[in-house]
Amino acid sequence: MTVKISSALRDRLCVAAKATPDIEVCGLVFGTSERVEDIAFCANVAPEPRRTFEIDPVALFAALRAERNGGPAVIGYWHSHPSGDVRPSATDAARAAADGKIWLIVAGDTLGGWRALPGKGGATAFDAVTLNVV
């Protein structure tokens, strides 16, 4: 699967990750199955933001309510990995819902794309998504 993302959005994600390199920053991804149209920055409310992320539920529920009322579609989530690895971590897999949403993971100047899908035994698996930067 290939998803388009503008270089401006990619750059915003990379700048955010580099601005706070010691914690995972996170947010929401809006668009269609073919294109990332926008991103939102959300507070990371995880108890250990150096190791994991949890999107502020107030922001998430507000975005989902807006979507139901005709607003932009929430197609996924994004977060940074201070470790420098854009692959989903074991913690990501343990906490992710296998709902088909896109996960963008940023580390420094690198951006990876993944889709959360059902894996073996009810676990979540991540399939790589090709990001076409335009």
What does the pLDDT look like over 53-102, one tens digit per residue? 999 999 999 999 999 999 999 999 999 999 889 999 989 998 899 999 99
Mean pLDDT (whole number) for 100-109: 95
First to last CA, the chain: 16
Within the chain, where are the H helices?
Answer: 7-19, 57-68, 90-95
Q: How far apart are CA 108 and CA 87, in angstroms?
A: 13
Distance CA 44, CA 28 (A): 11
Residue pair 127/2 in contact by the 8 Å Cβ criterion: no
Q: What is the pLDDT of residue 119?
A: 85
- The pLDDT, as a whole number, for residue 121 is 77
Residues belonging to the active site = 24
Q: Which residues does 72 contact at the CB level (< 8 Å), separation at least 6? A: 30, 31, 37, 38, 63, 66
Q: What is the pLDDT of residue 123?
A: 78
Where do the domains of the chain lie? Answer: 2-133
Taking residues 37-52, report their average pLDDT.
95
Q: What are phi and psi of 113, to 5 degrees?
A: -120, 140
pLDDT confidence tier of residue 52, bands split at 50, 70 and 90: very high
What is the residue-averaged pLDDT of the chain?
A: 94
Contacts of 124 (CB under 8 A, 6+ apart): 93, 94, 96, 97, 98, 116, 117, 118
Supply the pLDDT for residue 39.
Answer: 97
CATH topology of domain 2-133: Cytidine Deaminase; domain 2 (3.40.140)
pTM here is 0.93
Residue 38 has pLDDT above 90, yes or no: yes
